[in-house]
């Protein structure tokens, strides 16, 4: 369980550590889809602040617990563990042209796990949308803390795991269906020199959740819908 603290100042911040901001890690909004990395950075911010304040707590500064993070969900599991499980269950990646052929000739279902707005802008014909992440909806203490944490990094449309993802997939797709999971970039399970464990993505996280919940015919779209568009394969929209 990780805790984010709120800090109330009763006097000037000038008595804080002179390098307060330099002690905080930097985080780029382009990594927002890697939610596990984001929360590692948030926890790093929390730990850094706590270490700093334990050495220099100005008079009049009070610290109290604001919220406690719920237990880690399967989607937040380390990528190494997810990758090993996907390989163990023989989840295979297919390129975009093969995916189109499988959809047309073998009744494969393309499951687009991007946000609904992105899906409506453009998607493969016949694809089904169930977003794996959604905008933060609730206003519990933890949700408020998460909004603040996203805002700290300049991200004002923070997202959270969709707790209804598996239920929604089950209402739209039969459990015995052959499913190709797709997102924007796709990610990969293939090792490279720079990425020996491949690269995590929303579609690979979704594939992991599906396999965990008993889906046995799960495939992954290599290159994602960016590659689908780049190859000028069929696209439709709902706008």
Considering 96, 100, 180, 183, which one is annotated as catalytic?
183
Indicate the pairing of strand 159-161 with strand 128-129. unpaired
199 forms bridges with which residues in the sheet? 188
Total residue count of the chain as it appears in this document: 239
Please give the structure tokens belonging to residue 150: 């996203």
d(CA 201, CA 224): 9
d(CA 128, CA 62): 50
Q: Establish whether 45 is a catalytic residue.
A: no
**CB within 8 A of 143, min separation 6: which ones?**
136, 137, 160
User: Nearest-CA neighbor of 97 among 237, 230, 202?
Assistant: 230
Please give the structure tokens belonging to residue 177: 């269906």
From the CB of residue 145, how many other CB atoms can be counted at a distance below 10 Å? 21
Please give the structure tokens belonging to residue 194: 């720079």
Sign of the torsion angle spanned by Cα atoms 195, 217, 116, 145: negative
Q: Which residues of 25-36 are buried (b: 16+ CB within 10 A; e: fewer)?
A: eebeeeebbbbb
Is 166:209 a contact under the CB 8 Å cutoff?
yes
The residues annotated with a catalytic role in the active site are 183
């Amino acid at each position: 369980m990780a805790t984010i603290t709120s800090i109330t100042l009763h006097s000037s911040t000038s008595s804080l550590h002179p390098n307060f901001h330099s002690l905080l890690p930097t985080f780029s909004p382009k990594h927002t889809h890697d939610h596990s990395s984001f929360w590692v950075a948030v926890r790093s911010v929390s730990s850094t602040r706590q270490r700093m304040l334990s050495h220099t707590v100005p008079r009049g500064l009070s610290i109290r617990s604001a919220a406690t993070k719920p237990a880690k969900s399967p989607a937040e599991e380390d990528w190494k563990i997810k990758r090993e499980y996907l390989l163990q269950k023989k989840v295979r990646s297919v390129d975009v042209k093969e995916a189109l052929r499988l959809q047309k000739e073998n009744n494969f279902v393309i499951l687009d796990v991007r946000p609904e707005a992105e899906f409506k802008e453009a998607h493969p014909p016949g694809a089904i949308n169930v977003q794996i992440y959604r905008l933060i909806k609730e206003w519990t203490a933890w949700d408020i803390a998460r909004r603040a944490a996203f805002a700290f990094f300049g991200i004002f449309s923070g997202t959270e795991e969709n707790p209804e993802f598996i239920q929604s997939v089950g209402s739209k797709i039969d459990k015995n269906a052959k499913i190709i999971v797709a997102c924007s970039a796709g990610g990969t399970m293939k090792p490279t020199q720079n990425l020996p464990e491949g690269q995590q993505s929303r579609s690979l996280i979704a594939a992991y959740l599906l396999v965990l919940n008993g889906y046995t015919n799960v495939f992954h779209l290599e290159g994602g819908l960016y590659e689908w568009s780049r190859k000028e394969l069929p696209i439709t929209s709902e706008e």
